Amino acid sequence: MNVQVRPQRDQWTGLLQRPELDNTKLEASVKKILQDVKEKGDEAIFHYTQQFDGIAINRLQASQQEINEAISTLPDDLKNAIQLAANNITAFHKKQLSVPEVIETMPGVLCWRKSIGIEKVGLYIPGGSAPLFSTILMLAIPAKLAGCKEIILCSPPGKDGKLHPAILYAAQLTGITKVFKTGGVQAIAAMAFGTASIPKTYKIFGPGNQYVTCAKQLVQQYGVAIDMPAGPSEVCVIADDSCVPAFVAADLLSQAEHGPDSQVLLVSPSEEVVKNVQQELKKQLAVLPRKELAEKALQNSKAIIAKDMQEAVELVNTYAAEHLILSCENDEAIAELIMNAGSIFLGNYSPESVGDYASGTNHTLPTNGYARMYSGVSVDSFVKKVTYQKLTKEGLHQIGKAVELMAEAEGLEAHKNAVTIRMK
């Protein structure tokens, strides 16, 4: 880690800067795939699955038999772990459902708001070495609670043409409507435009590589919404003398193992703490299977020694981390001072990985400084909140004059007249 001792405030922006994400170089190739899928549908999907995943398939949807067979191979203890996580995620997200409440803003003027599930949503789960079945829980559980009618999942097949059993188990457990074996840009295109096999959806969720991220950005031009802009995963730890350096090091490494572009930041008012954490990092890194990935991420990462805890908080608010761990004595008081973060982990027994999997909170969170203005995924992400108003004749008389005056002042005579004609 690159250690910075009490940097001047005018250096902060530079120090806390993330790497620029430039997708423009990919754009041409991503656009070509989007266009191909838009025009040729399934045929283009088969073609790109052959090209990129190296597997010839002629049926995209995973059959129920295929799902059942795969699930039967999954160890029971993993099934139980997934079930436990699903229970906690459900318990936490269920409380995000809102009940419409009618508000009488003036006598006879009734207004209310109702959450309605987005009818069709598409979830994307990347393939590769790690089968991210946990992300299925994080997306499908709130989608189901929100009342989305069609919840489809796309994920790239392995060389054997199959999906990982844990992906299929999580999909079945959470009530996903249909599972499709396709990944990359072609999957995003399919969920945006629809093909003979894959239904068009209104909003697309889920992580992915640079190509998938670029495709999600581009399909917004065709009237499809996406969960949020994406960047590499991040953790920031504020640690004081009350921390356990071995725990802090383990948390930093759990972020670093994601890959060389992972963002890892340690902020502490204590030079001693930073020194001890670094020693622990060395020790733990040595025995890590994904050692090389983590090592590269750590080389690009920073430890900042702040003047005091107040400055540490200011630094962290400037950075706006996806995950923020407060390994400090007054964790609850400090949490109250945080303005910008995706999810906050308080105390010595709340590692990021509990939130990644099973505490109940969502792990799809704003990266790249977007925590300044974006929320993580929640039930809110899967609904639209529709407003309603019903006025009685008397209610209209209560506010009619004000509407007439305002409409007239804005030069909108027909707006005024829609009230006047009813007041006569």
Annotated binding site for substrate: 233, 255, 258, 323, 356, 410, 415
The piece of 41-49, 55-63, 77-85, 302-310 that touches a second copy (CB under 8 A) is 77-85
CB count in 10 Å sphere of residue 160? 7
Q: Is 5 in the site for a second copy (CB under 8 A)?
A: no
Q: Which of residues 383-402 bind a second copy (CB under 8 A)?
A: 383-393, 395-396, 399, 401-402
Name the minimum Å distance from CB 46 to a second copy. Answer: 26
Residue type, 239: A
Does the annotation mark 322 as catalytic? yes
DSSP 62: P
Which one among 33, 44, 70, 132 touches a second copy, defined by CB under 8 A?
A: 132
**Applying CB under 8 A, which of residues 11, 63, 105, 242 lies at the interface with a second copy?**
105
Pick 294 or 305: Cβ nearer a second copy: 294
Task: Retrieve residue 377's tokens.
Answer: 């995924």
Are residues 47 and 232 in contact, defined by beta-carbon separation less than 8 angstroms?
no
Single out the segment in contact with a second copy by CB under 8 A; choices: 47-55, 155-163, 187-195, 333-341.
333-341
Report the residue number, 12 or 92, with the smaller CB distance to a second copy: 92
**If 0-12 CB within 10 Å is exposed, 13-18 middle and 19+ buried, where does residue 68 land?**
exposed
Q: Report the residue from 43, 130, 292, 333 that binds a second copy according to the rule CB under 8 A.
A: 130
Does 273 sit near a second copy (CB under 8 A)? no
Residues 132 and 142: their CA atoms lie apart, in Å, by 17
Closest-CA residue to 304 (of 273, 344, 326): 273
Residue 333 in the binding site for a second copy (CB under 8 A):
no
Q: CB under 8 Å to 75, separation ≥6 — which residues?
A: none
Distance CA 54, CA 38 (A): 22
- Residue 213 token pair: 């991220």
DSSP codes joined into one string, 167-235:
HHHHHHHHT-SEEEE--HHHHHHHHHH--SSS---SEEE----HHHHHHHHHHGGGT-EES------EE
* Residues pairing with 3 in the sheet: 303
The catalytically annotated residue of 93, 164, 323, 363 is 323
Q: Is 323 a catalytic residue?
A: yes
Query: Cβ distance 112 to 387 under 8 Å?
Result: yes
For the CB of residue 256, give the shortest distance to a second copy in the complex, in Å: 7
346 part of the interface to a second copy, by CB under 8 A: yes
3-class DSSP assignment, residue 384: strand
Q: Site for a second copy (CB under 8 A): which residue of 126, 312, 351, 367?
A: 351
Q: CA-CA distance, 398 to 20, in Å (whole number)? A: 55
Question: Contacts with a second copy in 205-244 (CB under 8 A)?
Answer: 220, 223, 225, 229
Q: Which 241-260 positions form the footprint of a second copy (CB under 8 A)?
A: 246-247, 250-251, 253-254, 256-258
Q: Is there a contact between 235 and 252 (Cβ–Cβ < 8 Å)?
A: yes
Of 49, 195, 233, 359, the residue at the interface with a second copy (CB under 8 A) is 359
What angle in degrees, to the nearest 10, is found between the helix axes of 165-174 and 133-146? 10
* Three-state DSSP state, 149: coil
Nearest CB to a second copy, comparing residues 14 and 289: 289
Q: Classify residue 53 by its DSSP letter.
A: I
Q: Residues comprising the binding site for NAD(+)?
A: 124, 186, 209
Give the residue among 198, 357, 334, 219 at the shortest CA–CA distance from 269. 334
Q: How far is the CB of 198 from a second copy (least distance, A)?
A: 18
* Residue tagged active-site, from 150, 322, 352, 363: 322
173 binds a second copy (CB under 8 A): no
**Is 22 or 160 the residue whose CB approaches a second copy more closely?**
22
Among 92, 161, 260, 314, binds a second copy (CB under 8 A): 92
Smallest gap, in angstroms, from Cβ of residue 8 to a second copy?
20
| Token pair of 210 as six digits | 């640079």
**Based on CB atoms, which residue is closest to a second copy, 54 or 100?**
100
Of residues 32-71, those binding a second copy (CB under 8 A) = none
Q: Which is closer to a second copy, CB of 85 or CB of 176?
A: 85
Q: Name the phi and psi angles at 310, rounded to 5.
A: -60, -45
Judged by CB under 8 A, the number of residues near a second copy is 123
Q: Could you say whether residue 372 binds a second copy (CB under 8 A)?
A: yes
Residue closer to a second copy (CB basis): 274 or 379:
379
Residues marked active site are found at 322-323
